[in-house]
Every structure is written in C-alpha cells, then in structure tokens.
C-alpha cells in the first residue's frame, strides 16, 4: 500500500469491505440520515465497533472517509486549514474537514468531546440546514457538497461537567446507541478477527461478560471486543491461554492488585 | 451554488426568502431597532429559530448577513482582521466584523457569551451612539456604514457565573425573547420543513410538549423544533416512527438511562 | 465621514460639541487636574455618561482623544506598539497609547480593571511626576507631551478580589465619582437624545428610578440612561410603549422570570 | 526635551538633582552597599518615595539609571534582549537589564514580586559574587561592569503566598526599610512639591496621619505622600479644599461608601 | 561512536546485545505481540529495567529502536514533524514517530502518561488494526511499515486522577508487568553492572529488600536496581561502603530526616 | 575580563581556584562519581555554598563548567538549542546543555525543581547508562563526551507537592547533603570573604547560629553564610555594626514586625 499525499477523493475511498456485523437497525437509520442529509452521532464505550461501523458505512455508501481524532490541543485551524509560507508567499492549505466538505466525504470526528470548544462551534453551521463552513481567515463560505455527511462519536462513560457535549451541539445530530454485541455475534467477530476456533472465542466472550458485570466494583469500563481479539491472537502465536488473557485483558484493564486477582480467578473459572 | 472568495456585499445577500413564521411582534421591533440604529440581542433556547429569524430579517431588509459563531478561542483579531505575509510584505486582511461594518451588513454574533472577553469589549464602541470600530493594529477607526446593524444571540439557560454577559454589554442592546412556537405554529413548521403530514407533525409537537414539561427532572433543555424536523425526515425515509423518535429526539437529549426510559414511554403514549 | 489611517492629531479631534449636562463640579475638577498635569480616574456604573464626559472635556480643552477599551487579552504591546515586517525589515508601529503620549492627546483607558496587569504597570511611570513611557522593545523612553492627560474609567460595582485595582495604581489618580443624573436632568437628556416629548421622558426616568430602587432584589445594576434613550427611540419608531419598555429596558436587564414580572408591573404602574 | 533612542549611558544620566529628604541612614547604607558591590532591596508601601530615592542616589553617585517596572507578563527576554529580523537576518538587541550591566548603570527593578519567576532567577548570578549575566540565547556570559548596581523594590503589604519573594532571592540583597516620612518632613515635601503654604501642608499631613491610623478598618493601605501632593496641587488650581481632598484623597483610596463617609468626616474635622 | 544526523534505519540499530536477564515470560509474550502486530505497554516502577528490556528486544528482533521520552510540553507536532523554513520555502521534517512508522522501527514512548493529550490521541489509529498515522498538516496518511511496533511505558505508582491513562488508550495494548528481579538475579545484575563481587552485591540487594518493605512508611517508591549499581560503582572507586550507600541509596530516596535515620540503621545492620 | 561569545571549552574553564573549605567527604565522593560517570545531586539550603562547591570541583577536575539557573519558564529548547533565521535559512544553535554534552563539561542545573517538566525528562537518558541526549528537532542523538558530568542542585526546604522531584528523576543521581559549615569554619569563611577580623566574624556566626535556632518560629529559612559576609562588608565600609546587621541580616530574612524585633534583640545580645 503506497503512502501518498492525498489530493483527491479516491484516496479516501475504502477498497475492501470492512468486516461488520449489524447488531440492531443502525445500518438503516444511518442510511436514512445520509439520504435526509442529517448529521449523525455515535454513542458508546471504547472498542465496541463505532469506528469500524463508520468505515463499513463509508464503503457501503461508496463515499470517501476522512477521520479526525479529536483532542484538547486540536484547534479549529487544524481542521479548517491554514496559510503556509511558500516561495515568500503565504499559500492556503485545506485542513481535513474542509477537504471533506468540498469533496462530499463522510467526515468522522472521533471523540468529539475531547476537542476544543472552537471546534464544536465550527461545525454548527455544517450541522443544521445551512450546511455551510465559514473559513474566516480566507473570507470564504463553503456550501457543503450534497454528499457530505458529518459523523461524530462520543463515549457517555467519560461524561463530566467539564467535558460534556452542549445541548446546542447535541440537538443537531441523529443519534445511534452502541454497545458490546450479544454473545453469539461477539464470539463470531472474535473468532474471525482473532483467527481462533469458535469454542475458544465463546469462552473469551463469556469471560468478558463476567468482567463487564463486575464493572461497578472499581472497573471504569468493561473489557472491549478489541481486547478479546488481542487475547485470541496471542493464543494463536503460542502463548498459553492464561498468560494471553492476563496480558491482553487483565493488565490493560486495571492497575489495582485486588481487581487483578479477581480477574485472574475469573480466568481460572472459565479455562 | 458556487463557493467563492467573498469580496463584496452581494455575496452575503440571501437570494431566497428564508421560511419563518412570526410568533409575536419580533419583526416590527427588529425593524424599529434597525431604523433607530440600535443593536439587537436575541435571547432563547437552542434550536428555537433565532438564526433563522436573523436570516429572515436580513432578507426582508435586503441587507447582507455576516454570521460569526462565537467560541472561547475566538480572539478579537479573528473578527477584526490581521496582517498576512504576501510577497515579503505584510498585507492587512479584514475580518468578518470589519467587513460587515464597512459594507453595512447585519453582523450576527451567535452565542456571544462563548466568546473571549476581548471580543465583547471590541463591540462596545460599535453598540453605543459612537458606532465606531477601532482597529488598533492599523491605527484605524472605522465609522460604521449607516445600514450596519449588530445582532447578538444568547441562551439564558447556559448562564453561569463564568459565562454571564456583563451589564455593561447587556445594557447596549434592544432585546427580543425567543421560545418554542405555540403548538399549531410549530406543527406547521415541522410539517413543512420535515415534509410530513400535519397529523404526524402535531403528534411530534405534542411529544415535544410533554418532554419540555419534564425538563426539571434532569433534562437541561427541552426538545428543539429542529429535532422534531429531524424525526419527521427520518420517518419520511422509511424509518419506523418509534425508531425515528428515539434516534432523533431521545438519544440526542440525554445519556441518562432512566430518563431515556421515561422518554420512550412518552413515545409509546403518543404513537 | 471618511475612514482614514490616523496619522496626526487632527484626526483625533472632535468636530462637534458632544452633548453633556454637568451634574456636579466634575468639569472644574477635571480642568484643574489637566492644568496640574494630574491623571484622572472616573468611577461609576454602566451607561451613566463617563465616556460622553471624556468626549465633552476633550472637545472643551481642544485636545485630541484616543480611546482604548481594555480587556483581558489586551497586552502592553497592543498599547505601546510593535514591530511589523515590511519589505524584509521589521518596522516599528506606534500603538494608541504611544501615539497619545507623543501628540499630547487625552488618552482614555476604558474599564481599566479588565486589562492585563502588564498594562497597568506600563502606565505607572506615566501617572506620576516622571510622566515617561518606556518602550523597552525599542530601548526608547518617551517624555510625555506637556498637554498629554491620562484618564481611566472603572466600575466599582464589578470590583472583585481578582479584578481589583491595586492601591499602587489607584493612588496615582485624582478621582471623580459618577452616578445617574437627577430626575429632571436625566429626563432632559432622554428627551433630547431619544427625540421624544418631555412628558414621556419624565415617565421613563420615573420607571428607571423605581428599577434602581429594587436593585438589591437580584438586579446587579440599575437601568442606565442609555436604555431609557433606547426605549424612547423605539417609541419614536411606532413601537407601543409597553413593548418598547420591555425590549429596551426589562429584557436587557435580567433573564430572571420573576424579576421580569416585577419589572412589567412597574411599567403597568407608570404607563 | 528630546525623545531619542537611548544608545549610550549619557542618556540615562539624571541632569538635575531629584528632590529627596533623608529620613534615616538610608543614604549612607546605600553608598556603602554600592562601594561593596552588594545589591540593594527597598521595602515599603506605595508612594512613600522609593523610586524618588533611587533617582536621588543615581544622581548623587553620578551613575546612569535604568528602571524596569515589573509585571506578570514580563518575560526574562524582555529584560535580556531578543533577536529581531533585519534585512533577512536576525540581529541581537540588548534589553534594559543587559544594557545596564554593560554600561555600569544602576538597574532598578520596580515591584520585583510582580515579575515572572524566570526574571527572578535571571538576576541570581548577578546578585552574588559572580556578578555575571548569562544570555543563553546568544551563548554569551557578561561580567558586570564594576559600577553596575542592582536595586529592587518590594511592597510587603502585598505579600501573599503566590507572590512572595523566595528566600533564595531575598538573601542576596542588603535591605532598606521605607515608610511615610515623619509629619514635619512630610509637610515640607508636600509644601514644596504641591506648591502650597506650609500651614495647609501641615493640615494635609495631619489628615493623612488620621487616615493611616484607621487603616485596619478596611483600608488596605494608608494615604500616600503622593496623594497629599495631588490635593495640594488641586487647591493651587482653585478647587475648594474639601472637594480637592475628596477627589485626590478619599475617592482614590476606597470604593466603600461607609469608609468614604468616615474619610469625609475626618476632612471636616481638620479643615 | 559518531554523532550523526540520523537519516536511515541503520543508525537506530543497536550494535551490541544489551545485557538483560529474563524474570518471567516477558520475552515470549513480547515476541508474540510483535508477530501479531499488537502494540505493547510496559508497566512498572522506576529503574526496574523497562528501558533496558525494550533495547534488548530491539536487538533480538533486529529492529531499529526510536525512543521518545514523554513530558507535558511534548506536543503532537514534536512527534509527527513540522515545517521548517529553508531557502525561503517551508520544508517538511519528519518527527521521531513518523520516522519510526516509515522505517518499521520499534517506537518506544517512555512514560506516556506524562505526554499531552494530543499525543495519546495521535497514536490511536496506529494502535488498532488500522495501523495508520495521519499527518493532518501535510494531508498525508501513512500506513505503518509491516515491522513497525509501538511500545509505551507507564508507572502505575504515579497514577493520579489527572494523569491516568484513559481506558480508550489502555485497551489498545497488550501489557507486561515489571517489577524488581528476585534477589539472586538482581545480585547477578548488580555484580555485573556495578563491577563488584557477588558477596557485596548480595548484601546491597538484601539492603534494597528491606528498604522496599518499609515502603509504606513514607517512601513513595523503593530503591531501584539502578541505585544499587551506583552504590557498587562508588565502592569500586574507593568510597567506604557506608558513605557509598548513603550517597547512592539513602539521600536520593528521601529528604525526610527520620526516614534517613531508619535507612542508615538498615545499612548498619547489613554491613 | 572580556565578554566574548563562548565558542569552545576554554571559555568555560575557571582560571583561579575558587575558595572552598571542605566540611565532610563531599570532595572525594564527587570525584568518585565523576570517575564512575555517575550524575550528582547537591541538596541543601540557600547560600550554604553549593554553587561555590561546583565551581571548586570544576577547577580541581580541570573541566569547563556550564551553569543553567532553572525556572518555570525554562523550556527544554532553551537548554537544547533552537533554529535561528540567518540569511533566509534556519541555522541550528546549540543550547548550553548541548554544548556541555559535546565538549565534556560539567553541566550544573541550579534549582532543578523550578524547571519545567520537559526539562527534567530531557536529562533522563543523559543520567542513566545510555548517556545520550536526543535532539528531536534535528533528529540527532548525541553520545555524551566521556568527561561530561551532570550536576543538579535542589533545596529540600522548598519541597512541595507541586514542585517535588519525581522518584524517576531522583533515583538517577548520587547525592550530597549540604548544610551551613560548623562555627569555626564558617567564621573563617566570613572573615576571608567579608574582609573583617576573625573576632567580629565569630560574633556574626554566633548571631547566625541563634537565628537558625529560632527558625521554627516563623522563619522559613535561617540566615545564610552569604548574608554574614554582606554584613561584614558593610561594617568594612564604615556602617555601624547594628545597622549593618539589620540591613544585611534582619530585613532580608523577614517582613514580620515581631520577628524583626526578636532579631534586633539577638543583635543587642551579641554586640
């Protein structure tokens, strides 16, 4: 796969279908929102498949996908673009959001609450019926390409007074609720992505189920599907099951000694 | 519609009448303020039509409209303009407020309390009888075009000690109070903008009315008219009514599980 | 009126007498301070005429007037000046304070407590018998023009621990106390500036008097003279008296529902 | 008086003897510290003559005087110097401290506690027996001119946890304690500088004495000698004594209504 | 060894085998994670060998090693790269992470929790199955070299509310738990690296064991293996054992007088 | 002594032996650490001779000495170096630490806890067995000159939660404890450096001893040896003993009136 400077929308198109198993009616609602030109918000915990779902939908709708991971040092200008000095002249360079708006891509703002406030405000006129993006530094107002779709993700578990999404932002998005898939489906995913037999996958999912149930005892979040896949892959590389579960599931989840003992006992119960 | 670098006031003129239904005497007061050259403040909750009203008035008064979404990283220089390097020389570039003041536009500062304090101070001499804008970096004082009008919006629900509008700012604006339209009018809007039959629109409005009544039970703000329109559009794209209401109304409003159950019951009651 | 880059003191001279009615001995004390080369501090609430008074005095003394609205993002360099890049060389550009010091203007720093601390310190050597301004970046010390006068304004109602004026700053200024004018005089002002009959003006002033009396019940500041003039102008543009008072006086003052009811009752009592 | 870019030490020499009345042995100790090449710290309240004393000593010792008013946005580079762009090359520009160190001036850092911490650290190697100034950006270490003397001032009344002078800084300075002069001497100063008769000066000093005694009742600092001189000058410009005392003494000291009443009564008692 | 500007991967290859004694199954798990292209997190206290382990694994796997010490002023652009001005043009310069991603190196982010939040977010798409690095400023998306491996380290003892690793980051890494080696192995290390006889090494390890046991009595962390090696080396340079232990072990561990007495007594007990 | 731009190591060599009286075994331990290439930390109160000790050791070991006074605005780039613009090209300029690492100097970081956190992290790879300095901005890794030695100083009296040295930093340094010298030795130092007779020096030391004993009654730190030398020098310049002690010892130590009285009584007791 070549690394090239991305200049047109083809570079953002996904070539192969990203593997995704539907767990509710999220595909049809996403399609309806896309048809109705309504922006979409994905809510749910870490590693339950939000990013994969967006990739899958971009492939299905044959739209280029531009992803921006939000963080507290991301300024509006990082998304909109900025002037660079070239041959003694300042030349404008589109940022990822601007590129997406022009080419009619799906623009996915991952973990939007982490972004600076200026970022959230910049997307307001894009996420109501105006569908415009104002680039004040250039004095340019861009009307979004008809196929442009704005998607944001958000983990309600992190919700705090300081990092809450304002109602004036929330009330601009059709929302989809994500959670861990049900046991059968999750095992299918772990088996396929982790490349192990269904039986071991089912046991890993059963372990995850137990861990997710003790969540209130000090675990801020349950074991994600991703971690189950990690464990599966370590097993596939000849690491004993107990060691694999410890390295791929217990240690990433917590630093607390007592909790780790509990988790180790759960592993003993199942394997 | 072409995206061009906006250079004269025509680019900021609205071509088609923005749909707006009057709910009180806001149109005549706005016109009187415009005639008397008094700046205007719009107060009201998210998504109840403040932005649409300003667009409508700009169209009615045939004035160009310059909108600035305020946020806490918006510096005065973002509104006034700045020097850019061009061919080894620094060249001045007007910001959106300066452009509006020169061309006699309506300048709409959306969510003014979010702006940095320097921004609020910059508009003081513009919003009393001096009607001047001082660009200290250029040593220039601009006398506003006779048709220039300053409009700000403000959501009293967000009012906090840190983000309150100072009396010395507030007492410079004629104010208009906005709220959700009365049921009949709101249904008319939802039906027209959401492209569904009046009967469904009325039910959606009735649902919104119930949600707005439980506002004190943990909802920081009621369902906006905009969300009703979203639900309507999803329904129009073949999403079942319950799913549409859940995705377009319940999930955007809250992450609280109990509150969502209450909201789901309200949907069951009405549909 | 032309907008030009201000280069000499004439541009800062006021052409017409700004309308001002004296309420005490403020004019004679200001003149004495100007003769004795003592800096002046104006204290008082929002919209009671401090800015207008300075304009009036600048006109009376035939001195150019340079106004700087202070705010928390105003750096010393915004007032002193800075180097700009021009044809590959850095060229010095005087800021508004430096310009005022050189040309012997009245320099009016509005809402000084809002300024950054470096700003307050910069004016110290200007406000004692040294009357010098040090521009460290140029290595230049400017001796103020003999006619230079420094004036600052300050609203004691905003006084807080964080934003208090230090004694080492306060004790450098002859001070003048401002307040709302007495009823007769205020009505005269409202009638003239708001262009309505004296009788209505008197009623508006009487309304303001009642509002100022309930100030302790949650209103942080009383209705300013400016708001009375706004109401008068709306009435002059055919807005019914009650609506005009509501839009120009009640809504700007407070977002509190109960307080607004009280204010509406006061309007009913008077009109 | 000409304003010129200061390039050699002559520009910093004081031409005329600054008026100063000794109140203790401060002159001889300052001279001894100068001879012994020990840095000096002046402690005392606002407006009691610290700055004037340094000017007087600079004149007596025939040394140039470089004054830097410290504040919380003063960076070390503002004192040391910085690179500027000139004809496509960066050229070094000495800051005021560097200039003073090279030319053997008295460098007076006014209100040192207000400065950023990097500033205090920069002067450490200058204020022990190394007497060196390191300019890291140039890779240059300057050995101070033999006549160089560092003087800092400091108001203990402002002392707070955040703005305290560290022991590692304090223990580098010979210290002098300043306070208001005794009545006879203060009246002599007020009479001379305020240009009024000795009798009125004595009354003003007696008023100040009473105000300084009520300091604990809410006044954070007593009336400075400077304010007495202001009052004297207003009186000399035909302002009635009561009005002059109110504008030049009461109003600058406090915004508290009750305290102002008390102060007004003190004026009534004396005049 | 020459200091050269590192331009290709050879410069990052370790020439000699870094000395490392395995204490569990960390080597096989690390290899399995490398084969399965899963990122790795090393958890453990100061100076217990995490950095040495990564160097050892890089040598074993024959991969170049790029180390970045994280801190709170490390911005994403420090890791990704930035534009530099060269001959009047801005030229892109890869940062260490970008270089590692392109050349297929092991990139070791030491003390990741110290880094700014933008840094943690930047590595998200690199640490799931996308294995991409987005350089927004260039508009480039880099697909990681197949041999690229991301390794982070983390000291759970420092864990605080402000500096915790988010679950959305943690749940992307296979984790390895590090601790001090068991006595025999640690003595072997101290003897070899500190160049002293096994007998003295065993006594030093026994001293460390006792210190680690009193950890709860005010010591935030036990004596590291590194400090034992320091003591050994001082002894090898003719410093008496007690003095060497005091300078290399007691004084670095604590400033508390009582604790130091306790530590001194422990030394007396053993030597 | 000439001030020149320091370009090679000779400029950092000390020409004359800095006067230093050993108080324990600090010289031999420092030498052993230097031989074993172990970094050194000096702990102790203000003005007790840490800086002088390093100068003395640099002279003894015939190594150049590079001193950096740390403070909270010292960025890593201030120590490492930065790019400067020269003839339209950016040219790299080594910072003081980089220079010391290349030339094999002793690099003395004074008051390391005051430095920003990025600074502490930058020295980690320099202070373990890697002995490397990574200059990420250049993509250069420097292997320290074999004679390079890192020395840091640290005042435990200032230790606070915010400004504590992290264990991961502390456990990289052989440590030496400093304190005021014993009476005889201190008097010898005061007599020599202050140029007074041994008898007066002994009395000054006896005064310091008493002051250091009342340290717990509000004095945050005792009188340093440096202050005694200051008093001696003032006495040598004909200032009466009491006045000299007051200016050079009491006033620098505290602003508290009561404490100053106590200190004055101590002076009366001794002289």
DSSP H or E segment with residue D118: helix D117-122
> Is A177 near chain B, with CB under 8 Å?
yes
Res B1: pLDDT: 36
Cβ neighbours of D237 in C, within 8 Å = 31-33, 35-36
Burial of E222 (0-12, 13-18, 19+ CB in 10 A): buried
Separation between Cα atoms, residue F126 and residue E211, nearest integer Å: 26
| pLDDT at position B8 over 70 | no
CA angle D211, D213, D217 (to 5 degrees): 85
| pLDDT at position E197 over 80 | yes
Q: What is the mean pLDDT of residues E4-23?
A: 76
Nearest CB to A69 within list E121, E137, E174: E121
Res F264: pLDDT: 92
Structural tokens at position A32: 């309806």
- Minimal-distance CA residue of chain E relative to A79: E136
Cβ neighbours of C28 in D, within 8 Å = 238-239
Nearest to F221 by CA among F138, F167, F142, F158: F158
Res D5: pLDDT: 43
For E22-52, how does the pLDDT look when each residue is reduced to its tens digit (9 = 90+)?
A: 988 999 999 999 999 999 999 988 888 899 9
Touching B: A residues 196-235, CB under 8 Å: none
Taking an 8 Å cut-off on Cβ atoms, the answer to whether B111 and A121 are in contact is: yes
E94 pairs with which residues across the strands? E81
Res D203: pLDDT: 96
| Ramachandran bin of C67, using left for φ above 0, alpha for ψ from -120 to 50, beta for the remaining angles | beta
Res E32: pLDDT: 94
Highest average pLDDT, of A51-55, C6-10, D23-27, F1-5, comes from A51-55
> Is D247 near chain C, with CB under 8 Å?
yes
Res E158: pLDDT: 56
Structural tokens at position D217: 């009742």
Res A256: pLDDT: 83
Taking an 8 Å cut-off on Cβ atoms, the answer to whether D118 and F93 are in contact is: no
Which of A37-51, B63-77, C34-48 bottoms out in mean pLDDT, i.e. has the lowest?
B63-77
Q: Which residues contact E268 (CB under 8 A, 6 or more apart)?
A: E242
Mind telling me how many Å the CA of C44 is from chain B's nearest CA?
A: 11
- Minimal-distance CA residue of chain B relative to C95: B136
Q: Give the confidence band of D1 by pLDDT, cuts at 50, 70, 90.
A: very low
For E230-257, how does the pLDDT look when each residue is reduced to its tens digit (9 = 90+)?
A: 999 999 999 999 999 999 999 999 888 8
Res E4: pLDDT: 41
Q: Give the confidence band of E161 by pLDDT, cuts at 50, 70, 90.
A: very low
Q: What is the mean pLDDT of residues F200-221?
A: 85
Contact (CB, 8 A) for C209 and C185: no
DSSP H or E segment with residue F69: strand F65-69
Res E218: pLDDT: 67
Res F215: pLDDT: 62
B142 pairs with which residues across the strands? B133
Count of beta carbons in the 10 Å neighbourhood of residue E268: 10
Q: What is the mean pLDDT of residues B211-219?
A: 74
- Minimal-distance CA residue of chain D relative to F154: D168
- Minimal-distance CA residue of chain B relative to A144: B3
Res B88: pLDDT: 64
Q: What is the mean pLDDT of residues A91-96?
A: 87
For A184-230, how does the pLDDT look when each residue is reduced to its tens digit (9 = 90+)?
A: 999 999 999 999 999 999 999 999 999 988 865 667 778 999 999 99
Q: Give the confidence band of A6 by pLDDT, cuts at 50, 70, 90.
A: very low
Mind telling me how many Å the CA of C43 is from chain D's nearest CA?
A: 9
For C104-163, how does the pLDDT look when each residue is reduced to its tens digit (9 = 90+)?
A: 999 999 988 877 777 777 898 899 888 999 887 777 889 999 999 999 998 886 555 456
Which of A4-8, A27-31, C167-171 bottoms out in mean pLDDT, i.e. has the lowest?
A4-8
| pLDDT at position B5 over 50 | no
Between these two residues, B74 and F104, which has the higher pLDDT value?
A: F104
DSSP A266: H
| pLDDT at position B47 over 50 | yes
For B147-162, how does the pLDDT look when each residue is reduced to its tens digit (9 = 90+)?
A: 999 999 988 865 554 5
Nearest to F173 by CA among E255, E183, E108, E206: E255
Separation between Cα atoms, residue A227 and residue A194, nearest integer Å: 10
For A100-122, how does the pLDDT look when each residue is reduced to its tens digit (9 = 90+)?
A: 999 999 999 998 887 777 777 78
Q: Give the confidence band of E2 by pLDDT, cuts at 50, 70, 90.
A: very low
Q: Which subunits sit against B, judged by 3+ Cβ pairs under 8 A? A: A, C
Res A11: pLDDT: 74
Q: Give the confidence band of D192 by pLDDT, cuts at 50, 70, 90.
A: very high
Q: Provide the percentage of residues in chain F whose pLDDT is more than 70.
A: 90
Q: Give the confidence band of D156 by pLDDT, cuts at 50, 70, 90.
A: confident
Q: What is the pTM of this model?
A: 0.78
Res F120: pLDDT: 77
Q: Give the confidence band of B6 by pLDDT, cuts at 50, 70, 90.
A: very low
Instruction: Give the 3-state DSSP-derived string for chain C, with helices as H, strands as E and coil as C.
Output: CCCCECCCHHHHCCCCCCCCCCCCCHHHHHHHHHHCCCCEEEECCCCCCHHHHHHHHHHHCCCCEEEEECCCCCCHHHHHEEEEEECCEEEEEECHHHHHHHHCCEEEEECHHHCCHHHHHHCCCCCCCCCEEEECCCCEEEECCCCCEEEEEECHHHCCCCCCCCHHHHCCCEEEECCCCCHHHHHHHHHHHHCCCHHHHHHHHHHHHHHHHHHHHCCCCCCCHHHHHHHHHHHHCCCCHHHHHHHHHHHHHCCCHHHHHHHHHHHHHHC
Res A158: pLDDT: 56
Alpha helices in chain E (DSSP H): 26-35, 50-60, 76-80, 96-103, 117-122, 167-170, 183-194, 198-213, 225-236, 241-245, 251-253, 257-270
Between these two residues, D12 and A175, which has the higher pLDDT value?
A: A175
| pLDDT at position C5 over 70 | no
| pLDDT at position D193 over 50 | yes
Count of beta carbons in the 10 Å neighbourhood of residue F261: 11
Q: What is the mean pLDDT of residues D109-127?
A: 83
Between these two residues, A96 and B162, which has the higher pLDDT value?
A: A96
Between these two residues, A144 and E219, which has the higher pLDDT value?
A: A144
Taking an 8 Å cut-off on Cβ atoms, the answer to whether F29 and E234 are in contact is: yes
| pLDDT at position F218 over 80 | no
Nearest CB to F117 within list E5, E73, E99: E73
| pLDDT at position E121 over 70 | yes
| pLDDT at position B218 over 80 | no
Res A81: pLDDT: 87
Q: Provide the percentage of residues in chain C whose pLDDT is more than 90.
A: 54
| pLDDT at position A4 over 90 | no
Q: Provide the percentage of residues in chain F whose pLDDT is more than 90.
A: 54
C89-94 vs C132-135, strand pairing mode:
unpaired
Nearest CB to D234 within list C32, C102, C130: C32
DSSP H or E segment with residue D26: helix D26-35
DSSP A182: P
Which of B156-165, C73-82, D102-111, D250-259 bottoms out in mean pLDDT, i.e. has the lowest?
B156-165
Taking an 8 Å cut-off on Cβ atoms, the answer to whether C90 and D93 are in contact is: no
- Minimal-distance CA residue of chain C relative to B128: C226
Res F4: pLDDT: 41
Res E176: pLDDT: 95
Q: Report chain A's mean pLDDT, rounded to a whole number.
A: 86
Q: What is the mean pLDDT of residues E98-124?
A: 87
Q: Provide the percentage of residues in chain E whose pLDDT is more than 90.
A: 54
Touching A: B residues 45-74, CB under 8 Å: 46-47, 51, 67-74
Structural tokens at position E213: 């046991």
Which of F58-62, F147-151, F163-167 bottoms out in mean pLDDT, i.e. has the lowest?
F163-167
Cβ neighbours of C86 in B, within 8 Å = 89-90
Separation between Cα atoms, residue C127 and residue C40, nearest integer Å: 9
Which of A129-133, C112-116, D187-191 bottoms out in mean pLDDT, i.e. has the lowest?
C112-116
- Residue whose tokens read 């030093």: E204
Q: Give the confidence band of B104 by pLDDT, cuts at 50, 70, 90.
A: very high
Which of B114-118, D159-163, F198-202, F251-255 bottoms out in mean pLDDT, i.e. has the lowest?
D159-163
Instruction: Give the 3-state DSSP-derived string for F182-215, with helices as H, strands as E and coil as C.
Output: CHHHHHHHHHHHHCCCHHHHHHHHHHHHHHHHHH
F106-110 vs A149-154, strand pairing mode:
unpaired
Count of beta carbons in the 10 Å neighbourhood of residue E4: 11
Count of beta carbons in the 10 Å neighbourhood of residue F27: 16
Select from A248, A256, A261, A263 the residue whose CB has the most chain E CBs within 10 Å, as the one to mutate to test that interface: A248
What are φ and ψ of residue B132, in 5° steps? -120, 155
Cβ neighbours of B122 in C, within 8 Å = 69, 71
Mind telling me how many Å the CA of B225 is from chain C's nearest CA?
A: 22
Touching D: F residues 83-122, CB under 8 Å: 84-88, 93-96, 99, 110-111, 114
Which of A175-189, B211-225, C233-247, D184-198 bottoms out in mean pLDDT, i.e. has the lowest?
B211-225
Taking an 8 Å cut-off on Cβ atoms, the answer to whether E72 and F117 are in contact is: yes
| pLDDT at position D3 over 50 | no
Cβ neighbours of D90 in F, within 8 Å = 84-86
The class (CATH top level) of D2-177 is alpha beta
Which of B182-191, E71-80, E165-174, F250-259 bottoms out in mean pLDDT, i.e. has the lowest?
E71-80
CA angle B173, B174, B176 (to 5 degrees): 120
Q: What is the mean pLDDT of residues C216-225?
A: 77
Nearest to B106 by CA among B79, B72, B56, B67: B67
Q: What is the ipTM of this complex?
A: 0.85
> Is C26 near chain B, with CB under 8 Å?
no
Q: What is the mean pLDDT of residues D84-101?
A: 82
Separation between Cα atoms, residue B174 and residue B150, nearest integer Å: 11
Select from C117, C121, C150 the residue whose CB has the most chain D CBs within 10 Å, as the one to mutate to test that interface: C121
Separation between Cα atoms, residue F57 and residue D75, nearest integer Å: 33
For A56-83, how does the pLDDT look when each residue is reduced to its tens digit (9 = 90+)?
A: 999 999 999 999 888 777 778 888 988 7
């Amino acid at each position: 796969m070549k690394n090239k400077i991305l200049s047109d929308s083809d570079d953002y198109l996904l070539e192969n279908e990203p593997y995704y198993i539907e767990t509710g009616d999220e595909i049809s609602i996403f399609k309806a929102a896309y048809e109705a030109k309504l922006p979409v918000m994905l809510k749910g915990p870490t590693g339950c498949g939000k990013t994969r779902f967006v990739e899958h939908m971009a492939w299905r709708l044959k739209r280029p996908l531009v992803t921006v991971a939000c963080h507290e040092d991301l300024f509006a200008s990082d998304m909109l673009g900025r002037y660079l000095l070239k041959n003694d002249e300042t030349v404008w360079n589109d940022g990822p959001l601007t590129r997406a708006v022009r080419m009619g891509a799906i623009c996915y703002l991952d973990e939007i609450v982490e972004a600076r406030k200026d970022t959230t405000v910049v997307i307001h006129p894009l996420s109501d019926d105006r569908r415009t993006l104002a680039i004040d530094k250039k004095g340019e107002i861009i009307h979004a390409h008809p196929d442009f779709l704005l998607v944001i993700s958000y983990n309600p578990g992190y919700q705090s007074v300081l990092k809450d999404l304002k109602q004036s932002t929330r009330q601009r998005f059709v929302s989809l609720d994500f959670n861990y898939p049900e046991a059968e489906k999750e095992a299918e995913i772990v088996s396929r992505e982790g490349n192990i037999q269904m039986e071991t996958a089912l046991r890993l999912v059963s372990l995850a189920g137990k861990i997710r149930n003790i969540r209130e005892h000090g675990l801020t979040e349950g074991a994600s599907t991703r971690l189950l896949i990690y464990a599966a892959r370590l097993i596939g590389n000849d690491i004993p099951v107990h060691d694999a579960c410890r390295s791929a599931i217990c240690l990433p989840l917590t630093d607390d000694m007592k909790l780790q003992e509990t988790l180790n006992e759960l592993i003993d119960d199942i394997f």
